[in-house]
């Protein structure tokens, strides 16, 4: 098993690495959102289905497969807003590479100044800074604003005579996207009695999302920050600024960076383990059989030697493995190599063993056909050999063929030394004498037999014959 | 009278000295100058081939109907060779090949001053195809190759 694992091909390593990265990116983009939780649940369902399939629970695995398919659709429909938010708020670089923070571009200083201005003037305010979870499903849509964030703008939104001052203002990046947004109220009973509706709305939103909410009390002019069910009374602008920077992902304290790096490393490791496990489960799944015709590759230790003939140019392999692996098994991933290291010049029989077959991990050879290959190995030589006409048929009885001139008279052929030793003549393909009535010219191909020989110049595989015939002298003449 | 033997002796010594001197100058050691093999090699003269033809028959020591294609119906095919001059009695071979396979090796004796000789091959149905006759001298030197075909 370990040997098989370490003999893993580069394609499989790339396969695992790519999928690990994709999984890791999905985690980075959707962490903290409900989408990730549902994706994790789907992953668990997938594992459950694999286990059920391996145990032979056909119907269960079939149902699980259906559930997973439906869940994929449900995710897209139900979480379309969150998915859309994640995709819209990322540029291409942060989508594929960076570790994005939702509020990184938020002008924290302007918010702090605005909040303190509002508090000083005792103007009630409710400011929402969403992070990664979409809020569309929990808030009642306000009025789209899409205005650039400024202190004056923020203060004017919450000015008591403004029609939208009762709702919340949503800040994303450096823009106020919505105003007059109605937030869900918390049903908690342990909230301090001094908390009014604004505070209760802030807590209600924090209970359901990861947004940060700033509340400015109209009565007391106090500032309260609500995040993750936690409430902070803000007495110092520096504290507010720090909390906002933290929320925006801009906190660069060593401990925080270490924690974030550790979390990402753990996430990456988990992704790697999951994908590797998935790959192993695929590679060791239900066995499927397939046949492949694979060309034989001869490995020469002596570069001067050449294989001139082989009883078979390919072998038929019956391979087994899991269905996905068998399906992904392309011809480029199967090799049959026969080593000619111990062969001598001449005819040799080579055994095609399983060690000659190279397959990706998880796939094994069941049978090889043929299991023996006869090869003719020799050192190639060149030899200049005369060409002779090979006449067939019958020349008219009143004619005599007195001369045949062949051009070229000799051809250089390449072939195994042992074969060339025995060849003194090259013959043309059979040329019919039937129908010859006078002298003439004809072109004929050369029969390169045995097949282990070939012309040095492939263009010189034909010759031209110029033949001379004359009338036969009759006894009377 | 007494001097004569002395002169003979001095002439004999001078003669031996001269022979040694000539031998040293020519590089031939006295007593080894007559190597028999070298002598034969140097005097061998191959007969000169003046005519070589494949033909349908021989009449009055002349080839009849020289050709390069012969019908099986002829029954026999001839290889005619003529040498002039022939310097000494020697032998010549007609080696008959059918498709690179040696079928027959005919040994022919040649006599000076000139000689014509021939060999022949009885044709069978299986003999159809390309043939050649190699004319080879006594020292296995290929003098000429005649190529022809046996047809239906």
Interface test with B, best of A425, A472, A477 (most B CBs within 10 A): A425
Q: Please, what sign has the CA dihedral across residues A391, A394, A397, A398?
A: negative
Shortest distance between the Cα of B112 and any Cα of chain A, in A, equals 31
Closest by CA position to A209, among listed A27, A32, A29: A32
- The pair of structure tokens assigned to A475 is 């006894």
- The CA-based angle B51-B55-B56, given to 5 degrees, is 155
Query: How many A×B Cβ pairs under 8 Å?
Result: 55
pLDDT category of residue B37 using cuts at 50, 70 and 90: very low
Whether residue B11 has pLDDT greater than 50: no
Instruction: Give all domains of chain A, ordered by start, each with its CATH number.
Output: 2-99+254-283 (no CATH), 108-248 (3.40.1700.10), 287-378 (2.170.120.30), 380-471 (2.170.120.40)
> A399 vs chain B: nearest CA distance in angstroms?
10
Is residue B66 helix, strand or coil? strand
What is the residue whose two structure tokens read 């902070």?
Answer: A232
Q: CA distances (Å), A343 to each of A350, A355, A453, in order?
A: 9, 17, 20
Tokens of B97: 């090949």
Taking CB atoms and an 8 Å limit, are A402 and B132 in contact across chains? no
Which of B67, B130, B145 is closest, CB to CB, to A400?
Answer: B67
The Cα of A328 is separated from the nearest Cα of chain B by a number of Å equal to: 53
Smallest CA–CA distance, residue B83 to chain A, in Å, is 22
Kindly report the average pLDDT of chain A as a whole number: 82
Least confident interval from A320-334, A379-393, B51-65: A320-334
Find which of B53, B56, B66, B68 to mutate to test the A interface (most A CBs within 10 Å of its CB): B68
CA-atom Rg of chain A in angstroms: 42
Q: What is the mean pLDDT of residues B114-118?
A: 93
Per-residue pLDDT band for A99 (boundaries 50, 70, 90) equals low
- Chain B residue closest in CA terms to A432: B151
Report, as an integer, the average pLDDT of B94-98. 95
Length of chain A: 477
Instruction: Tell me the percentage of chain A whose pLDDT exceeds 70.
Output: 88
Q: Which residue has the higher pLDDT, A322 or A60?
A: A60
Residues 30-69 on B with a CB inside 8 Å of A are 65-69
CB A377 within 8 A of CB A343: yes
Do A122 and A221 contact (CB within 8 A), yes or no? yes
Averaging pLDDT over each range in A48-57, A136-145, A284-293, B106-115, which range is the top one?
B106-115
More confident residue, B41 or A265: A265
Give all domains of chain B, ordered by start, each with its CATH number.
3-40 (no CATH), 44-151 (2.70.50.30)
B 96-125 residues with CB < 8 A to A: 97, 99-100
**A116 interfaces chain B, CB cutoff of 8 Å:** no
CA B54 – CA B63 distance, rounded (Å): 8
Kindly state the tokens that stand for A224.
């309260």
Judged by a CB distance cut-off of 8 A, whether residue A257 touches chain B is no
Q: What is the ipTM of this complex?
A: 0.72
Query: Whole-angstrom Cα distance, residue A119 to residue A223?
Result: 7
Cβ distance of B71 and A397 shorter than 8 Å = yes
Model pLDDT, residue A237: 82
Report the residue of chain B nearest A390, measured CA to CA.
Answer: B130
Tokens 């050449």 sit at which residue?
A: A306
Task: Return the pLDDT at A286.
Answer: 61
Which parts of A123-251 are beta strand (E)?
Answer: 125-129, 143-148, 168-172, 175-181, 212-216, 223-227, 230-234
Cβ pair A422:B100 closer than 8 A:
yes
Contact B151 A391 (CB under 8 A): yes
Question: How close is the nearest chain B Cα to the Cα of A333, in Å?
Answer: 47
Give the confidence band of A32 by pLDDT, cuts at 50, 70, 90.
low
A403: its two tokens: 């001369």
The residue to which tokens 């106020």 are assigned = A176
Q: Which of A395, A403, A427 sits opposite B71 (nearest CB)?
A: A395
Q: Model confidence over A460-470: pLDDT tens digits?
A: 889 999 999 99
Asked if A395 reaches chain B (Cβ–Cβ under 8 Å), the answer is yes
User: Rounded CA gap, A174 and A311, in Å?
Assistant: 76
CA distance A42 to A75: 10
Residue B63 has pLDDT above 80, yes or no: yes
Contacts of A392 in chain B (CB under 8 A): 128, 151-152
Q: Determine contact, residues A96/A134, Cβ cutoff 8 Å.
A: no
Instruction: Give residue-wise pLDDT tens across range A360-414.
Output: 877 888 899 898 888 888 888 889 999 999 999 999 989 999 999 999 999 999 8
B75 pLDDT band, cuts 50/70/90, is: very high
- Tell me whether B149 touches chain A (CB under 8 Å): yes
Question: How near does any CA of chain A get to the CA of B149, in Å?
Answer: 6
Tell if the CB–CB gap between A404 and B152 is shorter than 8 Å: no
- Helical H runs in A181-338? 197-208, 237-248, 254-283, 323-327
Q: State percent of chain A over pLDDT 90.
A: 15
Residues with Cβ within 8 Å of residue A444, at least 6 apart in sequence: A389, A428, A429, A431, A462, A463, A465
Which chain A residues are Cβ-neighbours of B100 within 8 angstroms? 422-425
Better-predicted residue by pLDDT, A97 or A20:
A20
Kindly determine whether residue B151 and residue A424, on different chains, have CB atoms separated by under 8 Å. Answer: no
Give which of A400, A406, A409, A447 to mutate to test B binding, by max B Cβ within 10 Å: A400
Between B144 and B23, whose confidence is greater? B144
Residue A93 confidence (pLDDT): 66
> Of A94, A107, A89, A38, which Cα lies nearest the Cα of A67?
A38
- Write the residue in A395, A433, A472 that is nearest to B65 by C-beta: A472
Per-residue pLDDT tens over the stretch A259-308: 778 888 888 898 888 888 877 776 666 678 889 999 998 887 777 777 87
Cα–Cα–Cα angle for A140, A144, A147, rounded to 5 degrees: 135
pLDDT score of B13 more than 50: no
Question: pLDDT at residue A101 above 60?
Answer: no
The least confident of A338-347, A430-439, A440-449, B9-18 is B9-18
H or E, element range at A464: strand A462-471
Residue A102 has pLDDT above 60, yes or no: no
- A422 to chain B, any CB pair closer than 8 A? The answer is yes
Most confident of A142-146, B42-46, B72-76: B72-76
Structure confidence at residue A364 (pLDDT): 85
pLDDT at residue A7 is higher than 60: no
Pairing of strands B101-110, B90-98: antiparallel
Q: Chain B: nearest CA to A373, how far in angstroms?
A: 30
Mean pLDDT, to the nearest integer, of A70-91? 72
Q: Does B71 touch chain A (CB under 8 A)?
A: yes
pLDDT value of position A35? 72
């Amino acid at each position: 098993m370990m040997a098989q694992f370490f003999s893993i091909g580069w394609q499989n390593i790339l396969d695992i690495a790519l999928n690990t990265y994709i999984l890791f990116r999905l985690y980075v983009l959707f962490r903290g959102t409900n989408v990730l939780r549902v994706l994790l649940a789907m992953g668990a369902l997938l594992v459950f289905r694999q286990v059920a399939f391996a145990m032979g629970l056909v119907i269960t695995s079939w149902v699980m497969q259906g559930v997973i398919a439906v869940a994929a659709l449900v995710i897209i429909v139900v979480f379309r807003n969150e998915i859309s938010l994640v995709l819209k708020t990322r540029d291409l670089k942060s989508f594929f590479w960076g570790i994005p923070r939702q509020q990184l571009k938020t002008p924290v200083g302007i918010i702090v100044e605005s909040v303190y201005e509002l508090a000083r003037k005792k103007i009630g305010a409710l400011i929402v800074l969403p992070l990664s979870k979409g809020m569309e499903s929990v808030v009642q849509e306000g009025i789209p604003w899409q205005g650039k964030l400024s202190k004056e703008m923020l203060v004017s939104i919450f000015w008591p005579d403004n029609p939208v001052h009762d709702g919340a203002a949503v800040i994303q990046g450096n823009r106020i996207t919505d105003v007059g947004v109605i937030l869900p109220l918390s049903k908690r009973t342990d909230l301090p009695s001094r908390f009014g509706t604004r505070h209760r709305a802030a807590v209600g939103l924090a209970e359901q999302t990861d947004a940060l909410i700033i509340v400015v009390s109209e009565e007391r002019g106090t500032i309260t920050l609500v995040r993750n069910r936690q409430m902070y009374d803000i007495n110092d602008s520096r504290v507010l600024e720090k909390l906002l920077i933290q929320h925006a992902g801009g906190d660069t304290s060593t401990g925080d960076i270490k924690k974030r790096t550790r979390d990402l490393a753990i996430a990456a490791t988990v992704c790697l383990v999951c994908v590797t496990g998935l790959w192993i489960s695929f590679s060791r799944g239900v066995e499927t059989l397939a046949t492949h015709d694979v060309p034989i590759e001869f490995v020469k230790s002596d570069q001067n030697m050449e294989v001139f003939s082989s009883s078979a140019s390919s072998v038929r392999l019956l391979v087994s493995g899991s269905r996905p692996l068998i399906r992904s098994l392309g011809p480029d991933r199967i090799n049959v190599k026969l080593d000619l290291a111990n062969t001598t010049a001449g005819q040799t029989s080579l055994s095609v063993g399983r060690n000659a077959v190279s397959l990706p991990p998880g796939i094994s050879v069941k049978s090889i056909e043929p299991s023996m290959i006869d090869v003719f190995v020799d050192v190639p030589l060149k030899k200049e050999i005369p060409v002779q006409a090979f006449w067939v048929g019958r020349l008219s009885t009143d004619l005599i063929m007195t001369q045949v001139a062949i051009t070229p008279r000799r051809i250089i052929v390449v072939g195994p030394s042992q074969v060339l030793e025995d060849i003194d003549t090259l013959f043309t393909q059979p040329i019919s004498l039937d129908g010859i009535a006078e002298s003439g010219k004809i072109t004929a191909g050369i029969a390169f037999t045995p097949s282990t020989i070939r012309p040095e110049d492939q263009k010189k595989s034909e010759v031209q014959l110029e033949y001379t015939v004359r009338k036969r002298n009759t006894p009377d003449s | 009278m007494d001097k004569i033997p002395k002169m003979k002796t001095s002439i004999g010594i001078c003669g031996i000295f001269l022979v040694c001197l000539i031998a040293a100058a020519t590089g031939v050691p006295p007593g080894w100058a007559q190597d028999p093999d070298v002598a034969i090699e140097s005097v061998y003269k191959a007969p000169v081939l003046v005519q070589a033809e494949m033909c349908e028959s021989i009449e009055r020591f002349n080839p009849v109907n020289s050709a390069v294609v012969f019908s099986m119906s002829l029954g026999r095919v001839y290889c005619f060779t003529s040498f002039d001059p022939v310097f000494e009695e020697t032998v010549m071979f007609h080696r008959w090949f059918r498709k690179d396979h040696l079928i027959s090796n005919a040994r022919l004796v040649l006599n000076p001053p000139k000689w014509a000789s021939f060999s022949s091959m009885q044709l069978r149905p299986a003999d159809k195809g390309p043939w050649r006759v190699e004319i080879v001298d006594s020292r296995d030197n290929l003098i000429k190759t005649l190529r022809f075909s046996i047809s239906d």
